[in-house]
């Protein structure tokens, strides 16, 4: 099962200069709880933006960079795949697993016909950004869970966790 996991503001911004434009500790905690123990798929820029290799998660990075491949060749938690075709092969071999796609926009766009589940954090504020979430056809999905949160001392903005499942996946259950 392929799951997208991301946060976006009211303008659908998801990034600024390779980083999140906001600081929401509860969203980071939510991300960790959902992705821990599962492979995470990302593009090169998203991988480079991570503060470190995230523990207990296999990092699948879509990149043709020979330097990146060489740097992580011996790292058991990182697999660099040079093309979408190689990623497709890897995904086919792991179709029974829950796989999280964490960005960036090009990877979200490339896999949007295959995504089964959406784990979206909607931040009820607007930020400066340079990366927008590609449009998704929400008519193909059903909202199955929605949890709203108000600002607090640690999380300065209201936000909502939303979970969607692809409608044909619901028929299979």
Interval 72-94 mean pLDDT: 93
Residues 6+ apart with CB under 8 A from 95: 1
pLDDT band per the 50, 70, 90 thresholds, residue 171: low
H/E stretch holding 45:
helix 44-49
- Domain count for the chain, please give it: 1
Nearest Cα residue to 90 out of 136, 49, 44, 40: 40
CATH classification of the domain holding 33: 3.40.430.10
β-pairing verdict for 40-43 and 99-103: parallel
Interval 5-31 mean pLDDT: 96
Q: What is the model's pLDDT at position 172?
A: 55
Residues 6+ apart with CB under 8 A from 77: 53, 57, 58, 59
> What is the residue range of 158's domain?
2-172
pLDDT in tens, 116-145: 999 999 999 999 999 999 999 999 999 999
Mean residue pLDDT of the chain comes to: 94
Report the distance separating Cα 165 and Cα 150, nearest Å: 25
DSSP conformational letter for 138: G
Q: What is the model's pLDDT at position 96?
A: 74
Task: Tell whether the model's pLDDT for residue 155 goes beyond 90.
Answer: yes
């Amino acid at each position: 099962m392929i799951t997208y996991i991301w946060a976006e503001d009211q303008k659908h911004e998801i990034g600024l200069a390779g980083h999140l434009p906001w600081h929401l500790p509860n969203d980071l905690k939510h991300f960790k709880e959902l992705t821990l123990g599962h492979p995470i798929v990302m593009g090169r820029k998203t991988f480079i933006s991570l503060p470190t290799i995230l523990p207990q998660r296999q990092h699948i990075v879509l990149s043709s960079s020979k330097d990146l491949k060489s740097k992580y060749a011996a790292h058991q938690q990182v697999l660099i795949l040079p093309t979408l075709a190689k990623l497709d092969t890897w995904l086919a071999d792991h179709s029974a697993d829950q796989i999280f796609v964490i960005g960036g926009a090009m990877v979200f766009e490339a896999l949007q016909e295959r995504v089964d589940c959406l784990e979206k954090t909607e931040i009820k504020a607007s930020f400066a950004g340079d990366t927008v979430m590609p449009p998704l056809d929400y008519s193909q999905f059903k909202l199955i869970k929605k949890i709203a949160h108000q600002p607090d001392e640690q999380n300065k903005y209201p936000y909502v966790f939303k979970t969607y499942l692809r409608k044909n996946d619901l028929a299979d259950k």
